[in-house]
Structure 1
Amino acid sequence: MTRTTSVPSATPAAGTSTDTGTPLAFSTRGLRAELTTPGAKIPLQEETLVVNLSAEPLDLHTERPSQVAPLQSALLDRVTLRHPAPLLLLTGMNTERIADLGARENWLRIGNDPAVAAGAGEGAPFPAGTPLWRSPIAQLGTVTLPAQLLGAPSEASTPVPLKLQANLWYAPAGTDCHIHRRHDFLEVHTQVAGRGRMQKFHAQDAETRYQDVVLEPGSTHAPFCGYDATATWSYPWHRYWADTDCVWLALEYHPC
């Protein structure tokens, strides 16, 4: 694939494969999201947010050893990628106009979804007036992960097959994206543009916050769930908080 520093003038057609990858449904007018073909040789010629979706480290083949760890990400340029598992690539981050991105792209405003606005069945419901938008969701296939990456005890030995899906989120500066804790899957978030944070709480109460995980463009937080022998995920109360206008990537690893 030939990569240039120009930005596409229109959203690439989702599902149109090339010899190195497939554009994803949440690509925007300025931001291209692509899932690579396993084993493809991909020379990067512009700044690219590279997300390692798999349990295998991504070796960058530079003069000094350098890797992108499993379920982590990096802003990369002027390197050639080759990985046995698919990678998620995002380009055009620096040229996409962030303000009002969700409305411009006609994404789902979460408060307009009755199922979400009614709450997830635990604690206070999602406030319908929250300015939070979700892009279309892309299904990225099946990934097998060591149980330890899911938060299982270190003695756990059976790898876990999971269905992976991904989407983008947009929220303007100062948005409280709601304290919650119910998830039946593993989730991690990658910051695409702006500055945000994942916050952890002892209860569904902002006054009980005990940790902030700051997210700058290119960073992915480590999983912070627990996982047990009954295939149950347990999370602390947590939320995303947008310090500035923000775009971030959600990766969800669901049971098969």
Structure 2
Amino acid sequence: MTSTLAYNVEKQLSFSGSHIDAKYVENVNNYYINNETIVINPHMWDVSVGQPVRNIIPAFSSTILKDITIEKAQALILIEVKDTTNIGNIILEQGWFLLGDTIEDSPSNGNTSELPYPKNTPLWKSPQDDAGIVEIDPYYMTRQAQTPGQKQSFVVKLNLWFAPSHTNCFIHNKHDFIEIHTEIFGTGRMQKFKAQDYGTLYEDMLMSPGFTTVVPFCQVEENNQYIYPWHQYYADTDCIWMAIEYHPLAKA
């Protein structure tokens, strides 16, 4: 007796609330998008969108759709902004916290020249979900390879961030995962720097709602090492964006 995997398996994400509805959908087949929705393809295979003219959502990218059917996808992240009135109150919803409240003080005798995180930075983080597991080629994802090769399993972790206008969200360069970002509300920038110094900015990537940073900033090295440039998010307006993190699963 054979079993078949169910289609359109939905998982409500924990940062859904009165302002934003968020879902992770797996094994997508003829899935109807009713209201205006940011649709993110977290996989390395294109997503097929239906009539009137067939279209695709390329790997690791996103678009805004309404009143249309997704023909087929391995997985989708769906974000619907339901209410923008007083949307800054999202930080009062369950599980949100000021990032500075969770950062430990740097050792006073530390020898590092790296600047400590300013705890008074107005940057809030939502709860984080383990949304699902995907198999991707990380070298293809970062464009270190031109075509997909050997795949690796990653846990996709998702959370929202909020910052008010004109916020520098701190220049940093360390992650033990691969990340991309999707703009949900407002306009901001993903920025790269030559050093942990705002005067060394060399790339300014503008972010508007529905835009995803298709190519991760990092370079993949052996043993799940990810080398990032100095980078940060900057909020031009009050902003909400989503981090899409790919955490490597340990091999059995």
CA 1:99/1:252 → structure 2, altered by over 3 Å: closer, same or farther? same
Instruction: Give the secondary structure class of the aligned counterpart of 2:140.
Output: helix
Task: Pick one of 89, 99, 115 that aligns with 1:124.
Answer: 115
Q: Match of 1:128, as an amino acid?
A: K
Deviation at 1:128?
0.2
1:255 to 236, 242, 248: 248
User: 1:238 corresponds to which residue?
Assistant: 231
Q: Which one of the candidate residues 86, 91, 95 is aligned to 1:97?
A: 86
Residue of 157, 168, 179 corresponding to 2:160: 168
State the alpha-carbon separation in 1 of the partners of residues 195 and 78 from structure 2.
36
Which residue among 134, 142, 163 is the counterpart of 1:143? Answer: 134
The one-character-per-residue Cα deviations of 1:4-44 (angstroms, maximum 9, x if unpaired) are: xxxxxxxxxxxxxx965121101021210011131343212
TM-score by length of 2: 0.86
8 Å contact from structure 2 (residues 11, 131) kept in 1 = no
What is the CA-CA distance between 1:132 and the residue it aligns to?
0.5
The aligned amino acid for 1:140 is: A
Unpaired runs of 5+ in structure 1? Answer: 1-17
SS in 1 for 2:167: coil
* Identity value in percent: 32
Amino acid at match of 1:211: E
Question: In structure 2, what is the equivalent of residue 193 of structure 1?
Answer: 185
TM-aligned CA deviation for residue 81 of structure 1: 1.4
Query: Paired residue for 2:4?
Result: none
Question: In 2, are the aligned partners of 1:98 and 1:245 still within 8 Å (CA)?
Answer: no
4+ residue segments displaced more than 6 Å:
none
| SS, match of residue 207 in structure 1 | helix
Structure 1: how far apart are the matches of 2:220 and 2:93?
38
Greater shift, 74-83 or 244-253, is seen at 74-83
CA distance in 2, matches of 1:123, 1:104: 33
- Give the conservation status (yes or no) of the 8 Å contact 2:19–2:90: no
- State the TM-score, normalizing by the size of structure 1: 0.85
**How many residue pairs align between the two structures?**
237
Q: 2:28 corresponds to which residue?
A: 39
Letter matched to residue 124 of structure 1: L
Unpaired segments ≥5 residues, structure 2: 1-6
Aligned to 2:206: 214
Q: Is the 8 A contact 2:135 2:152 kept in 1?
A: yes
- For residues 96 and 181 of structure 1, the distance between their equivalents in structure 2, rounded to whole angstroms, comes to 35
Amino acid at match of 2:127: P
- 1:44–1:77 CA contact under 8 A, matched in 2: yes
Q: CA RMSD in A?
A: 2.2
2:209, 2:190 → 1: CA distance? 14
